[in-house]
Structure formats: structure tokens, C-alpha cells
Structure 1
Amino acid sequence: MTEFDIVGPEAIREGVATDAYFERTEATLRHAGKNPRVVAEVTADQFPDGEFEVFAGVKDAAALLEGHDVDVDAMHEGQLFDGGPVMRIEGDYLEFARLETSLLGFLSHASGCATAALDARVAAPDSTVLSFGARHVHPSIAAMVERSALVAGLDGFSHVAAGDILGREASGTMPHALIIAFGRDKQEDAFRAFDEAVPEGVPRVALCDTYGDEVGEVLSAVDALGDHLDSVRLDTTSSRRGNFRHIVREVRWELDARGHEDVGIFVSGGLGPTELRELRDVVAGFGVGGYISNANPVDFALDIVEVEGELAAKRGKLSGVKEVYRTADGGHHVGLRGRPGPTDSESLLKPLIRDGELVREFDLDAATRRTREDAQKVGFGEE
């Protein structure tokens, strides 16, 4: 028994974090003296359907496959895809068979979170958007969620330990618990104590909806912090929101009327792309939680498409080794390897591992730029 129900890195690396039938498969193939040379592809959809998703999780997938005698080609982190393979593995099947479960988990979950984060990003392109969803997932995968959010172009995240792993500083100021700890009608005391306690570099963002009317608590924050106040945050429970846009506009009016045009308004709590589009012209920024962290994983599968140089595939899957292409007009195309690709196109599957050696570096900022550029090229999220 372990203290926490967490499958550790050693089990993942050694291939113990696998489905039982892969162990049975290994035993059977070894018993039969079979270990065919295969090509396997990771694919969500066989053909393009116009629904693009973001490829993420490839850094962890590469770490899993590194050291195994295989060649791997894959799309780059942050590339958008729409049908066809996102990764191709060539090698003796027993070299990677038991890694399939973890491999698909790394890619599926991260790609789902990154795609949801991109939904949020394009819904409010000129706003600050932060990932606030780590509390909705097992803490062991918080860094995956936050990295996926950054790949999609979000401006930051809330989880401290994830920040340590990613080399980025977490964002966040105060929860309702801080206000409540000071007691009812003591909001100003809480605001002042916060201002006195936290480092100067932390923005003074006052949470203004704990006990009373949002406008009233915002004005209390102004009285308490004066010119120190950077922003106010509204996290009003959905059952008490009423017309949230109207509330935000009311707060903006009262701040401006008192000469506090420079105080920003930040909102959070159960927000998704619809709410971001509705509010993006009246707020400075958003905290998006469950929409990103609770996103459905992309339904990747790994399928053998060639055995000992011969075409192979299960029923319902396309046989043969494939290439995927991006054309200049943003089109996504799938074709057989060795055949001519579309005119004026780029092949998206690039070397990742050769003879077990990693041949690619991972740059989070580059992945973010790639996502932004590719999203524009393919028209992701256009209404």
C-alpha cells in the first residue's frame, strides 16, 4: 500500500502502468517465438472532419519511449490536427507493446485539456486568461493541466507545485476563506492585512463578493487599499449572479465614477467560452477552471498498420503507413507514405526518436507560438 493512490514514475517507465492484456500478449508472443517488426500509429479520427484539436502531452510520451529501440515520428507540441496519425512508432512490437496504455494516457488527457484551453483563449483573445482548474483533478496531474493551458496560450495558472515543475510562477491572490477568517463586515481588515503581508510583486486583487453586494465590497476594497488596489475579482456563485454582465458593468461604472479607471475587473467561477465571449468587453481577465481541467480526453487509439512490411489493420481502421499534411490554406490532409502529398504542403510528422535516442528538444514558448499560429491558419474557433 502507498500513502496516496498514485502510480509512480518508475511503474510508468518500466511498463507496469499497463492494461493486463498487454502482459498476456507479451507472454503469448514470447511463448510462440514471435516479435514482428511493425509500424503503429496513434490516431483519433481516420479522416479529417473539420474539428481541429491541439496535440499535447508529447514531452511525456517522448520520455516514455526514449531508451526503447524504436523510431518515432510525431507532430510537434501545440500542432493542431484533424484526422490521421499524430504519432508513428516503428520497431519490434514487444519493444513497446506494454507502453501503449501510458502512452495514450499522456497524449489523450493533455490534448483534451489543451484543446479546451484554446477554446477559452480564442473566446477572449485580448483578455488575461488564467487556468484555475487544478482543484478539480488529482494533484499528481496538475502540472499536465497547467502545461496544456500554457501550450494553448493562456497567460498563467494557479498551482504552485506545477509552477515549480514548469519553471513558471503561479498566479493568485486571495480566496473567500481569507475573508471569512476575518469575519463578517471585516472585509477591509482582510484587504489591508493582505496588502501588508504579501510581497510587493503580487498584484493587489481584492475578492469582492463574499458577504455582500459586489459594488459595496468593491468600494470597501477601494477604501481599504486606495492606490495599492490593482484589480477586483468577482467569483459570485451562479445561484446569486442574476445578470452577471450587468453586475460587472455596474462595478465598472462605480469605479470609474470615483476616478478608479485603472482598477481592473477579473471574473471567475464556472466560466467557459460562452461566458468569456459575453463578458470580454467589460472585464480585464478571467479565471477558467473546470472547463479546462475537466475536459474530455481526446479518444486516441494505437493501431498496427504494417507488419513485416505488409499492410495491416483491424476492421474499421485504415491500413498502411500514413503521412499528414498542412496546406498553405490551412487544410489538413492524410495520405499514404511514399505517395506525393498535396501541392504546397508541409508534412507534420517529424522525427522524435531514432534508435531509442530523443532527437527533439521541447520549448514551451515555441509550442505556445505554434498553437497560436496554427490556430489562425486553420481558423480554429471562428464563428
Structure 2
Amino acid sequence: MFDIVSPDAIASGRATDAYFQRTREALDGAGRDPHVVCEVTADQFPSGEFEIFAGIEDAANLLAGRDLDVSALREGQLFDGGPVMRIEGNYLEFAELETSLLGFLSPASAWATGAREIATAARDRTALSFGARHVHPSTAAALERSALVGGMDGFSHVGAGDVLDRAASGTMPHALVIAFGRGNQEQAWRAFDEHAPEDVPRIALTDTYADETEEAVRAARAVENLDGVRLDTTGSRRGDFEHIVREVRWSLDDAGFADVEIFVSGGITAEAVRQLRPYVDGFGVGSAISDTPPTDFGLDIVERDGEGAAKRGKLTGAKSVYRVGDSHVVQPAEAPAPDDGESLLEPLIEDGEIVREFDIDDAAERCAQDAERVGFRAE
């Protein structure tokens, strides 16, 4: 029904670039299958421009069950150069899997990085991922997992919640208000209040027809114990959005609704989060996460049959990556570890078996600690 490559095709290596099929045909025909060390990298040397590593659970499941040993960073760790994954084994064990492997890691790491930037800007404010509408539905769970790893407090996609065993967040769209018609906003807000599950926060969308300040006060009067209002005004109508938000806060306070919180969404960027944070209690962020350009990972052979081998522009030989203080050190794998160095490449698969567990909360905590340690996108 849909343009979706099946999980079976991914696992079998059919979800690949055609030249890997040609490579297998050539190597099989020539009777060659070298033992190789391959590395996944974005930058060869540390650059100081940190990103967040994500997508590792899918990558591990892709490589598991094959005669391989794999080491990798932990989910949520920050990196700025050197390998994030090392694969050892006969090349034809995984040749056709390169396309899918990088496809698991590249967008996931980008989404986590975009989410971390938002979470850093939001500080103690609530930040939710609203970006699933910008990606193919088959990748929504990967997006939302990466958003959580990056530090978002929740997400809106119901199907992703089913996969990740997390409840999706969300209240009402403009469509609900429009369904009741202009002038009948109170009916829409009350219908939501009367019929939404009890554990769903009572947050009214208050910018559909009238001025934001007017609708916000009307909603607070219409719904007893309203938790908050959400402003999702399109960019073409906002003008000075900071001024609008401050005016809504003033009007709610003046009308006796100081406990009604304000949430904003719609084209929110990290810069907007920093600007609005003093006046806003929560943010819904979509494209600033989902549209983060994929991390430009590549997979390259660096050793063949025990000897250094790499193409031009790549560093030959297996490498180790260490964190020393707030920076990274990349060096040959056989070199002694630097003083006080923490090795970042840890076993992921041994003899084809996955040897680590994956926990979103642990990864998010690791990401937050790493981000603070290196001053990620510090304001």
C-alpha cells in the first residue's frame, strides 16, 4: 500500500545501493572475501563541533547474528571526530548492509542533535517534539526516540508511542475549533474538557479566529481549572511574537488567571526558545528537530587482512577515541591510552551477539551530562 521498504529487505541486505551487489558478485567470482576493519566516521579529527550519537539500537539489530565484532559509542554520547563505530569481520558478512547502517545512524544522530539544542535552550521549560509530520511515517518512532535521547520531554506521535512504550502528548488542533465555527470557540474548548481523558492536560488553543489575548482570557473563563493556553499563530500573522506572548501573560494575570500557563508552537527554533523562555512554560518544536541535516557519516575499510588500508582522504588503520576532560583524542588503536582518558568505543556485538542494553532514559541522561561537560551550544 505504501512506499516502504520492508524490514525483511533491510535485514537481508536488499535495502542497499546497487554497487554493493556488484561488489559481492565480483568478490564471489574472484574467490575473495578479505577480513577487514571498517569504521564509521563523520570527521577524521576532533573539530569541537559536537553532535549526538543515536540510532545505535537499530544498527545493532541490523548487524547481530553475523560473524562480526562491533564496538561503538554509547547512545546519547557526544562526538566531534574520529570513529563512532568499528566493525571487524569478513567483508561479505556485511557488505550490503552499509546503506541501511548509515541510514539508521545519520538521521537519528541529526535529530538527537537538533533536540539537544532545543533542550539546552529550553532549560527548565517543557519541550515536546512535534516533528513527526515532517518525516516519512515509517521513521516516526526513530525520530521520537532520538528526540527523547536529545533531551525532549515528550512527543506527539501516537504510533511512535506504541513502539517506544511511551504515551504521546497533545491536546487540540485548530481543526477542532474550526469544526465548531467562528464565535463558538467556547463550545470547542468545553467539548475538549468534557471528553478528553482525565490525565490529559487542559490546554486550549487560543489563536484560531480572534486576537490571542482575547481568546486566551475567554478560554480561561470557559473551562474551569484550565491548565494552559497554546499559541500556534502562523509566522505570517505573528508580528512581534514576543510582544504577543507577553501581552497574553499580562491579560491572563489581569483577569485573575495567573496560574494558567502559556505554551507556544509553530516554527519554533532554538533562538525563539531562548527569546521566549522568560514568558513561556512550554514549547512544541517540529521542524527545528526533524529538518536537522543528516549527519554525514561514511563507512570505510581501514584495515585489510591485518594491514593498514584506507582510501585517500581517510586515516589508515584501526583507531581508538578517548575523552580527556572536555575534549576528544583520536589515535591508533595500538597506542597507549592517554592519561585520564576514557575510551568511548565500547563493545556492542561480540561473535554476532549484542552485548549491551539500550535504555532511552539512560541515553538521555548520558547526553545531558555530556552536553554540559563540553558546553554544547552554550548560550
* TM-score in terms of structure 2 length: 0.99
CA deviation digits over 1:140-181, x for unaligned, max 9? 000011000000111000000000000100000000000000
Q: Which residue of 2 aligns with 1:238?
A: 235
Q: Is 1:363 aligned to 2:359, yes or no? A: yes
In the alignment, which of 329, 332, 335 is matched to residue 333 of structure 1? 329
Q: Which residue of 2 aligns with 1:170?
A: 168
Q: Conserved in 1, the CA contact under 8 Å of 2:217 and 2:255?
A: no
Q: How far apart in 2 are the matches of 1:325 and 1:129?
A: 32
Deviation at 1:261, TM superposition (A): 1.4
CA deviation digits over 1:189-217, x for unaligned, max 9? 00011111111111000000001100010
Deviation at 1:256, TM superposition (A): 1.1
CA deviation digits over 1:114-140, x for unaligned, max 9? 001101110111110000010111100
1:107-186 equivalences under 5 Å are 107-186=105-184
**1:333 maps to amino acid:** V
Q: Which residue of 1 aligns with 2:305?
A: 308
Q: Which residue of 2 aligns with 1:258?
A: 255
**2:154 maps to amino acid:** G
Q: Is 1:290 aligned to 2:287, yes or no? A: yes
Q: Is 1:9 aligned to 2:7, yes or no? A: yes
Deviation at 1:338, TM superposition (A): 1.3
Q: How far apart in 2 are the matches of 1:30 and 1:318?
A: 28
Q: How far apart in 1 are the matches of 2:227 and 2:322?
A: 46
Q: How far apart in 2 are the matches of 1:92 and 1:218?
A: 64
Q: How far apart in 2 are the matches of 1:143 and 1:115?
A: 16
CA deviation digits over 1:39-62, x for unaligned, max 9? 000000001111000000000000
Q: How far apart in 2 are the matches of 1:117 and 1:65?
A: 27
In the alignment, which of 87, 90, 106 is matched to residue 89 of structure 1? 87
Deviation at 1:223, TM superposition (A): 1.6
Stretches of structure 1 lacking an aligned partner (at least 5 in a row) = none
CA deviation digits over 1:61-112, x for unaligned, max 9? 0000000110000000000001000000000000010000000000001001
Deviation at 1:8, TM superposition (A): 1.0
Stretches of structure 2 lacking an aligned partner (at least 5 in a row) = none
Output the aligned Cα RMSD.
Answer: 0.6
Deviation at 1:297, TM superposition (A): 0.5
Q: Conserved in 1, the CA contact under 8 Å of 2:129 and 2:144?
A: yes
Q: How far apart in 2 are the matches of 1:332 and 1:182?
A: 57
Q: How far apart in 1 are the matches of 2:261 and 2:191?
A: 21
- The total of aligned residue pairs comes to 379
Q: Conserved in 1, the CA contact under 8 Å of 2:220 and 2:260?
A: no
1:180-259 equivalences under 5 Å are 180-227=178-225, 229-259=226-256
CA deviation digits over 1:244-270, x for unaligned, max 9? 111111111111112211110000000
**2:64 maps to amino acid:** E
Q: How far apart in 1 are the matches of 2:337 and 2:82?
A: 14
CA deviation digits over 1:216-237, x for unaligned, max 9? 101110121032x001000011
Q: Which residue of 2 aligns with 1:344?
A: 340
Q: Which residue of 1 aligns with 2:66?
A: 68
Q: How far apart in 1 are the matches of 2:153 and 2:243?
A: 26
3-state DSSP class of the match of 1:226?
A: coil
Q: Provide the identity percentage.
A: 65
Q: Is 1:54 aligned to 2:52, yes or no? A: yes
3-state DSSP class of the match of 1:351?
A: strand
3-state DSSP class of the match of 1:90?
A: strand
Q: How far apart in 2 are the matches of 1:382 and 1:344?
A: 25
Q: How far apart in 1 are the matches of 2:290 and 2:164?
A: 17
Q: How far apart in 2 are the matches of 1:342 and 1:185?
A: 69
Q: How far apart in 1 are the matches of 2:153 and 2:378?
A: 21
Q: How far apart in 2 are the matches of 1:199 and 1:132?
A: 20
Q: How far apart in 1 are the matches of 2:237 and 2:114?
A: 26
Q: How far apart in 2 are the matches of 1:115 and 1:309?
A: 35
Q: Conserved in 1, the CA contact under 8 Å of 2:34 and 2:304?
A: yes
